Chains A and B, each alone.
Chain A
Amino acid sequence: MANALVFIDNPGAALKKSSLELLTLARKLGETAVAFNGELTEHVAATLGAYGVATIYQPSVADLDDYLVAPKAAYLAAAVVASGVTAVLIENSPEGKEIAGRLGIKLNAGVITDVVGLEADGTAHKSVLAGSYNTTAKATTPVAVFSVKANIVEPEPAGAATAPATAKVEVPADAAANAARISSRTEKPASGRPDLSEARIVVAGGRGVDGDFGPLEELADALGAAVGASRAATDAGWIGHDAQVGQTGVTVSPQLYISAGISGAIQQKAGMQTSKVIVAINKDAESPVFEIADFGIIGDLFKVVPQATAEIKKRKG
């Protein structure tokens, strides 16, 4: 019997890296099943097999995507019952956390969010209070639900591939009864850059970019990085609100965070100080960001950043 259930929601043609990470982590807890939503392509099914998945559950209805979270939580609760698992792993997106929250109430299960490490016995590691404390937490209930941050393990296929069985899960008839309906949806233009919350490298700009994110975007593209921003820059309308890094925006934890023209007020620090390496570029030597930077440059970002971009392109040939 499977011990861990991973929720994979509408992956499209290929599984996202964060899903592969969840599958890798889930194997630590025992045999893995997947609660799948969306179209299951042959390629995705084969990848799930490569990651050692024993069973792929699919919902009996096709309209889960028409509503916000509640019916997905109802489907997952039914999948937990069908699979008999004791652990559920969900990605740590805002939607993932909400599904985890509702699922927890449905199952009388403890929910642990923002997980950055998970042990075989269900002990979860977290970083809290804006990265100032590391804690370990555990669910005291028979079933535990974890929402897991991206980039905490390297995806690794199982030693031996499986041929997963598929099974339908009956979604309760009233699953959408008390749900908010999505009445319209607008796709944003794709930037071609990695997703901010999952990016290995983030280049972020603040007040100091003075309306011109061009040089930072060029550096980001040379590094294969995502572009982020401080609240001052998003409030000024220089870049979309979804680029905001910080307490009220996206929390990032990349290998490398390059902060340009950002003073580093506490709310901004809260969103990035668990980054592995921090580089700061700012004209003002008194900027608080220099207190936490591994490498700081007191200087004009409009000189330093283009020079660095040109040098990276030169070295990469």
Chain B
Amino acid sequence: MKIVVLVKHVPDAQFDRHITGPGNTTDRDESILSELDEYALEAALQLAEERGGAKAGNEVIALSMGPSGAVNAVKKSLQIGAYSGVHLSDDALAGSDAAATSLALAATIRHLSADRRPVDLVLTGMASTDGETSLIPAQLAERLSLPQLTFASTLEVNGGTVVARRDAGSHSETVEAQLPALVSVTDQINEPRYPNFKGILAAKKKKIASLSLADIGVDPSEVGQSGSWTVVESAAARPPRTAGTIITDEGDAGIKLVDFLAAQKLL
């Protein structure tokens, strides 16, 4: 199987995050591999290992789009176990919205399909932990005319059929499609592995292909702010919430809570 896993370099959610610059984009200092992408990578590695791994001709390619720092998300993925990496980087990509991003990613996956053999499966996390629009899996699937199986909490590939279970609020369902397909996975699907010393050493020998827009045949005007269909006009930091009244229970805190709710007209 040839599997591409989308990995994103995102600001660490443990710290304060900021929106800066004329395009109101997210400040990418202090960035890490998006936590939710590790589940997709683990799912890809398990599928490949079940089939005999790299020796049997399986491929797990970590793909990241973003400025120079984004290569770190690819490197981390290689340390965890991805077989090879692709970094799509071009100045013209800055400020791309989901539509422009999905266009560039779709072109990259077509490019990766053309080189030797087609991509069977595109795997993504359920959302990035920065933009959180959750649009990329659906928009990429639409652009590549692929079936999408999103929010998978289990994933199996039997022959040419991919089967996933998903939770959809009031019900859970089993969904299936023929390969090639795009699957996004939740954090319920597996327990991602950590990079070990051997993995970190091995990663140094793995290949990272650097691609530009010219390599994937995309005109700069189709991406970035000029290729985006939405624009963020303004961004304002929300004043941080401040602590209100804190009391220590002296046997009547439940009553005081109800008094508070009544005063707030919440009963």
Residues of A within 8 A of B (CB): 68-70, 73, 93-95, 97-102, 104-106, 108-114, 123, 127-141, 178-188, 190, 195, 201, 223, 241-242, 247-248, 255-256, 266-267, 270, 273, 277-279, 281, 285, 290-300, 303-312, 315-316
Nearest-CB residue, chain A, relative to B166: A68
28 contacts between A and B (CB under 8 A): A68-B175, A70-B141, A94-B151, A105-B139, A106-B142, A110-B99, A111-B230, A129-B130, A132-B240, A135-B19, A136-B233, A180-B181, A182-B173, A183-B173, A183-B176, A186-B173, A187-B171, A188-B171, A266-B14, A291-B243, A293-B246, A295-B257, A298-B248, A303-B249, A306-B254, A308-B255, A312-B261, A312-B267
The answer to whether B148 touches A270, judged by C-beta atoms less than 8 angstroms apart, is: no
**Would you call A316 and B253 a contact (CB within 8 A)?**
no
Q: Is the interface of B mostly helix, strand, loop or mixed?
A: mixed
Report if B241 contacts A (CB, 8 A).
Answer: yes
Main secondary structure of the interface of A (DSSP, over half): mixed
Q: Is the CB of A114 within 8 A of B145?
A: no
Q: What are the residues of chain B within 8 A of A110 when measuring CB–CB?
A: 97, 99, 228-230
B241 shortest CB reach to chain A, Å: 4
Q: How many angstroms between the C-alpha atoms of A278 and B257 in the bound complex? A: 12
How far apart sit A310 and B147, CA to CA, in the bound complex (Å)?
52
Contact between chains at B135 and A100 (CB < 8 Å): yes
Judged by a CB distance under 8 angstroms, whether B112 is at the interface is no
Q: A98-B150, A105-B102 are known contacts. Are A270 and B13 too (CB-CB below 8 A)?
A: yes
Which residue on chain B has the smallest CB distance to residue A242?
Answer: B167
Q: Give the residues in chain B near A95, CB-CB below 8 Å.
A: 168
Is the CB–CB distance between B135 and A97 below 8 Å?
yes
The chain A residue with its CB closest to the CB of B187 is A248
Q: Once the chains bind, are B236 and A304 in contact (CB under 8 Å)? A: no
B145: nearest residue on chain A (CB-CB)?
A178
B223: min CB distance to chain A, Å:
14
- Asked if B99 and A132 sit within 8 Å, CB to CB, the answer is no
Q: Say yes or no: A98-B249 contact (C-beta < 8 A), given A110-B230, A182-B173.
A: no
CB-CB under 8 A from B246, the residues of chain A are: 285, 290, 293, 295-298
A278 to B244, CA, bound (A): 9
Please name the 7 residue pairs, one residue from A and one from B, whose CB atoms are nearest each other, closest first: A307-B254, A299-B249, A110-B229, A101-B138, A308-B254, A294-B244, A180-B177
B177 pairs with A179, CB closer than 8 A: yes
Min Cβ gap A138→B in Å is 6
CA distance A194 to B169 in the complex (A): 12
Residues of B within 8 A of A112 (CB): 230
Q: Do B137 and A188 touch across chains, with their CB atoms under 8 A apart?
A: no
Contact residue among B13, B36, B235, B245 (Cβ-Cβ distance under 8 Å from A133): B235
Cβ–Cβ contact A298 & B249, under 8 A: yes
List chain B positions with a Cβ less than 8 A from chain A: 13-14, 16-17, 19, 24, 26, 36, 97-99, 102, 126, 129-139, 141-143, 145-151, 153, 163, 167-177, 181, 186-188, 228-238, 240-249, 251-258, 260-262, 264, 266-267
A68 vs B164: C-alpha distance in the bound complex, in angstroms? 12
Inter-chain contact A298/B247, CB cutoff 8 Å: yes
Closest to A270 in B: B13
Which residue of B is nearest A306, CB measured?
A: B254
Contact among A133, A136, A285, A308 for B237, CB-based, below 8 A:
A133
Q: From residue B234, how far is it (CB to closest CB) to chain A in Å?
A: 5
Contacting residues, chain A, for B151 (C-beta < 8 A): 94
In addition to A136-B232, A180-B148, 14 A-B residue pairs with Cβ atoms within 8 Å of each other are: A68-B148, A97-B138, A102-B141, A130-B13, A132-B237, A138-B233, A140-B230, A178-B145, A256-B266, A281-B253, A281-B257, A290-B243, A297-B257, A307-B253
